[in-house]
Amino acid sequence: MTDTPITRLARATPPNVAARVRGLSDRTIAWLFVAPTIFLLLAINIFPLIWTIRLSFTNFAANKPNAEVKWVGLRNYERILTDDGIWANMQNTAHFLIWTIALQVVIGFALAWLINRKFKGNDLLTTLIVIPMMLSPAVVGNFWTFLYQPQIGLFNYAVEFFTGTPANSFSMLGSVTLAPWAIIIVDTWMWTPFVMLICLAGLRSIPDYIYEAAEIDRASKWRQFWTITVPMVLPFLMLAVLFRGIENFKMFDLVVQLTGGGPGNETLLASIDLKREAFEKWRTGYSSAYAIILFVTVFGLASIYVKALNKVKER
């Protein structure tokens, strides 16, 4: 072999990884690295999903392991989709979802916009604002039940102070009209800081020179806000909405702690109802169908939303 720069370079280059590992190809080694993850994914996500789909066509009950399991076809799906109670739970879930997201987006963005100003104590204030989202939902639910207590609750006293309505004349968690709003207030209190942080990241990613250019062009603050701030924060905001939407669609702990689904069924969200069907009534086949319907709903909505999000990013 002649001693050219190319051959010298070839000699200096170490043999590929595969050659050093007993003749395995790079592709094989790549698979070896990925295999544990794929195995875990299959075992923890895909297999249970397939198993759940299978169970959803049966009358299986997990508390009766010795009972005969019958194939019932689409009967579980039919019962769920024609059950007025389940549609009412879906409406409760939608009400909760829409209002919590709307409030969290508006308040979260407003807070982020204010926090983004330079002022003394900015960091301390940011830390204080994010404290609620660091708490456990069970703890938050528990102490809000005290805040909402008509006789000793601070919330009721605050309402009395501002409106003159006697504190013990209304029960936020016991009234059919107030309870759905009570859970929205708590979730908003807890998760608005999360939306605020994402919006803050968006606001801080906008380069100052864009605003400087707008100033030179004599754009008003109002115009700068609508033509620079909002469009550039929108992808972040949409991401926050996606996260909160998925989280609140499966909301369980906070609401169980606050109302247990009551009064009546006014705050019975789909996830709470699903848990009761699956692990209290032990209607495993039926609840599997219920879970699949919820999964398809979330997956479908999330897919549409992600496509919209990508379009916004491309703009």
Instruction: Pick the piece of the chain touching another protein (CB under 8 A) from 24-32, 63-71, 193-201, 292-300.
Output: 63-71
Count CA atoms within 13 Å of residue 104 on its CB side: 33
Tell me if 167 sits within 8 A of 157, measured CB to CB: yes
Instruction: Pick the piece of the chain touching another protein (CB under 8 A) from 38-46, 117-125, 241-249, 256-264.
Output: 256-264
Which residues, including other chains, have CB under 8 Å from residue 269's CB and lie 6 or more apart?
A: 89, 92, 93, 96, 251, 252, 255, 261
Residue 150 makes contact with another protein by CB under 8 A: yes
Amino acid at 64: K
Nearer to another protein, 244 or 283 (CB): 283
Residue 82 makes contact with another protein by CB under 8 A: no
Count the site residues for another protein by CB under 8 A: 32
Nearer to another protein, 48 or 260 (CB): 260
CB of 87 to another protein, least distance (A): 15
Q: Supply the DSSP symbol for 167.
A: G
Nearer to another protein, 84 or 314 (CB): 84
Residue 52 makes contact with another protein by CB under 8 A: no
Nearer to another protein, 193 or 261 (CB): 261
- How far is it, in rounded angstroms, from Cα 93 to Cα 88? 9
Q: How many CB atoms lie within 10 A of CB 143?
A: 13
Q: Is 58 helix (H, G, I), strand (E, B) or coil?
A: strand
- How far is it, in rounded angstroms, from Cα 161 to Cα 176? 23
Residue 64 makes contact with another protein by CB under 8 A: yes
Residues 257-286 that bind another protein (CB under 8 A): 259-266, 276, 279-283
Q: Which of 65, 121, 164, 207 binds another protein (CB under 8 A)?
A: 65
CB of 281 to another protein, least distance (A): 4
Q: What are the φ/ψ torsions at residue 286 (nearest 5 degrees)?
A: -60, -45
Q: Is 71 helix (H, G, I), strand (E, B) or coil?
A: strand
Q: Which residues contact another protein (rule: CB under 8 A)?
A: 59, 62-66, 148-151, 153, 168-169, 171, 173-174, 176, 256, 259-266, 276, 279-283
